[in-house]
A and B are shown apart, each in its own frame.
Chain A
Amino acid sequence: MTAAKAMDRPVLEIDNLVIAYKDQDAFHSVVHGVSFAVRPGEVVALVGESGSGKTTTAQAVIGLLAENGRLESGAIRLNGTDISKWSQKQLDTIRGSKISLIPQDPTSSLNPVKTIGEQVGEILKIHGRGDKKAIEARVTELLARVGLSHPELRARQYPHELSGGMRQRVLIAIAIALEPALIIADEPTSALDVTVQKRILDLIDDLRREFNTAVLLVTHDLGVAADRANHLVVLQGGRIQERGPTAEVLSAPRSPYTRKLLADAPSLAKPQRVSKANTGSDEYAIVVENLVQDFPVKNGRETFRAVDGVSFRVRKGTTHAIVGESGSGKTTTARNVVAFQKPTSGRIVVDGADVTALRGENLRQFRRKIQLVYQNPFGSLDPLQSIFQIIEEPLLNFGRIAREDRTRKVHDILERVGLPESTLTRKPRALSGGQRQRVAIARALVLDPQVLVLDEAVSALDVTVQAQILGLLDELQQKLGLTYLFISHDLAVVRQIADTVSVLHDGRQVDSGTVEDVFLRPGSDYTRELIDAIPGTKTFALA
């Protein structure tokens, strides 16, 4: 009886939480009256886009709000005790032991000058758990528990000697070291490849079951939340849009915002696109044959083969996707195609021109045909130029075009990518991520190229913005007959936009063909593993 009662009592109760940030001199609320509860052994997912207040809420629970943040009102009850008014010193006693945090970025969350063992041992030392020997033994045990091979060796290594997934495991080891009642996982897998993401989430799931820990999962990825959480809390602009059991929210969303999120999430939405893989023209816009790219390593004494014999053809007016995880050689292939990098061997023909033979002025003229859109819209626009200057620049590079013609062209292209004219005088930093990516696309299109290479062009964007940009790309392709080479790690997005696909793994092409073929009848184990790892597929299959 009592056990059942204890099971029912929430580990964490958030009641009408209001948080404000100081901007200049005034406080602006960013979280407006958020309430929810997390019970033992339960996963509650806070889902929302950037600016929804999900991270702020999670930070408030553990008392780690940014310096200009302030808890205005509301209660945070941990096992029934309100900790919202506690001092940092009081909070120190529960951080790590009662609540722990798995941070987002495994690269910057570990101290680069301390060994893994020292960092895992630190939490045990702070909370006074045993002497040096006991701590060492416990560290090894923990590292083994989170699935790291050779735990004794790992304990002596430094963070840079570990891969991203291994580092995330170390952070999880730190988080579970004292068997806390609540783990806050703030985007624990956003920086990882899908297959690694799946393994890490599985690990968190196992540990939760084993210790009956409550998990507060903060994520932007509805697919991850759908797969892993018992309860969903959907946030938008600091307000709860919807909350309830996961299956209920997904099958019968009540708020229009949730419906929109569900429709925009590439992993959950059904592909609606009509494939042009076989209907496009017979001409090929891009032909890549047996592409090989070596890079010198260790001061040129050895070479590293980044791309090893990749071949594909893209028909005019269709989209070819190159899919792979980090280090698979997909970006290198893209850079070879746009002639930023001379391949070691192989042939690349873009619109009839042999790219590898181009240099000097011919190469410059070739750039009119093919344009690259970068992953990060924050880094690919010159911060000092106005939007007008950015879009106009390619026109200045080719021939003398009268000022009026240039202005008209810039206005046309701006309208085409769906930006208001008022943006022309602004600087990039005054625009949102989605708007910036539209500017980058406008700059790429202003020269009327035939081929657009999109290097993870939507990966840095929120799902609703991502859906808008993908829609824009589709529309532009139909109107202008563009050919896209779409580089992505996200199979769900690829299924939505691409006609044909190449799957790369360690520089080799392990699978290729039309999207339907590759997705329904994967030709290699690796492709199958990739497809299985797409978050949200389980739920999608059930629905």
Chain B
Amino acid sequence: MTSAHTTNQPLLQANNGFLSKVSLSLVLRHLRRVQPGLVLAWSIIGIVTLWAIAPEFFTSQSSTVGVAGAQLRAPSADHWLGTDALGRDLFARIVYGSVHSLSGAFIAVAVGLLIGTALGLIAGSVRGAVGDIIMRVVDVLLSIPNLFLSLSIIVLLGFGTINAAIAVGITSIARFARLARSEVIRVRQSDYVEAGFGSGGTFASVLWRHILPNSLTSVIALAALQFGFAILTISTLGFLGYGAPPPTPEWGLLIAEGRNYIARAWWLTAAPGIVVILVVLAANRISQSLGKARP
């Protein structure tokens, strides 16, 4: 530990000497350190986001109206990923479906992130009875299997994309709360938090200025991870019929509909399945890079 510190020192000092060149060398270093996997992950998320914002730029076909006589076609120049049993273009359906999956995932992550982090922050900084009660509730949430919990919540709230997203979000509250609490407790013990109180800071101002920003790095990494997980779970719920009703081109629903024709038209299940897998993997990769970037 100390030896590493000692030996790094001259390097740091050398850097300080070249302050004028720092910005240039920083850019060069970033260029040299480009990670192809991370670039790929960001481009996948970027493309899927563009699909959600402006699907009409990516396909001229309709996602809901089929072409008569063109059912269950194999992939071709006209229909890049073939057509389904009603003659609808599969590529168009995937492109138009991204808005449902992405917005669902966003709502799910937002619900988990906001409520979970708030609970964790309170539990970590107030402690005592309030903290204990919050954490026991979180333990109960954690002990219920995720899918089972989201199914029960959907049954309470009613079917639909938004409700499915909220249900998935609620299942992730426990995870966010746990992580946020442990980070808050770690940060709370540091000298700079005490110094914040020592220089006359009120509880709220120290919480806002020091504890929250320093606890968030890992929480944001978890949010990226949960984003992929939410897409997967929302697709699962769609597949089971708890999500958006037909003819919404939601990805999970696409897989479910394609399942009946798996022997004749395997691409109907494979293509949306691969898209879901790619987005989930991309979110994981991004989450990993965020987690590493802690100060």
Interface of A toward B, CB cutoff 8 Å: 21, 23-25, 28, 30, 50-51, 53-56, 59, 66, 69, 104-105, 108, 186-187, 237-238, 338, 340, 364-365, 367-368, 371-372, 374, 376, 379-385, 393-394, 396-398, 422, 429-430, 432, 440, 443-444, 447
Contacts and interface: CB of A to CB of B under 8 A. Distances in A.
19 contacts: A21-B7, A50-B9, A51-B9, A51-B13, A55-B3, A55-B7, A66-B3, A104-B2, A108-B1, A238-B10, A367-B200, A371-B199, A374-B191, A379-B190, A379-B192, A393-B196, A394-B199, A397-B201, A432-B16
Interface in B5-45: 5-14, 16, 19, 29, 32
A366 to B, nearest CB: 9
B213 interface: yes
A115 to B, nearest CB: 24
Contacts of A447: 199-200
Contacts of B295: 383-384, 429
Contacts of B56: none
Contact of B3 (A30, A186, A237): A186
A382 B191 CA distance: 9
Given A50-B5, A396-B205, A443-B195, 15 more contacts: A21-B11, A28-B14, A53-B7, A54-B6, A56-B6, A104-B2, A364-B202, A365-B200, A367-B200, A376-B191, A384-B213, A384-B214, A397-B202, A397-B205, A440-B195
B29 A372 contact: no
Interface in B147-203: 190-192, 194-202
B212 to A, nearest CB: 10
Given A66-B4, A372-B195, A443-B195, A394 B200 contact: yes
B11 to A, nearest CB: 5
A430 B214 CA distance: 18
Nearest to B32: A25
Contacts of A397: 199-202, 205
Nearest to B19: A422
B10 A382 contact: no
A24 B29 contact: yes
Contacts of A187: 2
A382 B213 CA distance: 10
A65 to B, nearest CB: 9
B26 to A, nearest CB: 11
B20 to A, nearest CB: 11
Contacts of B205: 396-397
Most chain A CB atoms below 10 A, which of B8, B192, B210 = B192
A393 B202 CA distance: 12
B214 A30 contact: no
Contacts of B10: 28, 30, 51, 53, 237-238
A56 B14 CA distance: 17
Most chain B CB atoms below 10 A, which of A51, A59, A396 = A51
Nearest to A190: B2
Contact of A372 (B198, B200, B202, B210): B198
B264 interface: no
Given A24-B29, A51-B10, A383-B295, A59 B198 contact: no
Contacts of A376: 191
B199 A367 contact: yes
Contacts of A28: 10-11, 14
Given A51-B13, A397-B201, A397-B205, A381 B3 contact: no
Contacts of A440: 195
Interface of B: 1-14, 16, 19, 29, 32, 190-192, 194-202, 205, 209-210, 213-214, 295
Given A105-B1, A394-B200, A380 B195 contact: yes
A104 B10 CA distance: 20
B200 A50 contact: no
A276 to B, nearest CB: 27
Contact of B200 (A24, A105, A364): A364
B41 to A, nearest CB: 24
Nearest to B196: A393
A449 B240 CA distance: 67
A46 B220 CA distance: 46
B199 A443 contact: yes
B287 to A, nearest CB: 20
Contacts of A25: 32
B22 to A, nearest CB: 9
Q: What are the 10 A-B residue pairs with the smallest beta carbon separation, nearest first?
A: A51-B9, A394-B199, A397-B200, A380-B191, A379-B191, A367-B200, A382-B192, A383-B295, A55-B3, A51-B10
A338 B197 CA distance: 11
Contacts of A372: 195, 198
A104 B201 contact: no
B198 A23 contact: no
Contacts of A50: 5-6, 9
Contacts of B19: 422
A381 B8 CA distance: 20
A358 to B, nearest CB: 13
A340 B209 contact: no
Nearest to B200: A397
Contacts of B200: 364-365, 367-368, 394, 397-398, 447
Contacts of A364: 200, 202
Contacts of B214: 382-384
A398 B198 CA distance: 12
A180 to B, nearest CB: 20
Nearest to B25: A24
B1 A393 contact: no
A23 B6 CA distance: 14
Nearest to A384: B213
Nearest to A398: B200
B130 to A, nearest CB: 19
Contacts of A55: 2-3, 6-7
Given A383-B214, A384-B213, A394-B200, A51 B6 contact: yes
A432 B12 CA distance: 9
A98 to B, nearest CB: 21
Contacts of A23: 11
Contacts of A24: 29, 32
A69 B8 CA distance: 11
Nearest to B193: A382
Contacts of B199: 367, 371, 393-394, 397, 443-444, 447
Contacts of A381: 192, 195
B192 A371 contact: no
Nearest to B216: A384
Contacts of B197: 340
Given A383-B214, A393-B201, A398-B200, A30 B7 contact: yes
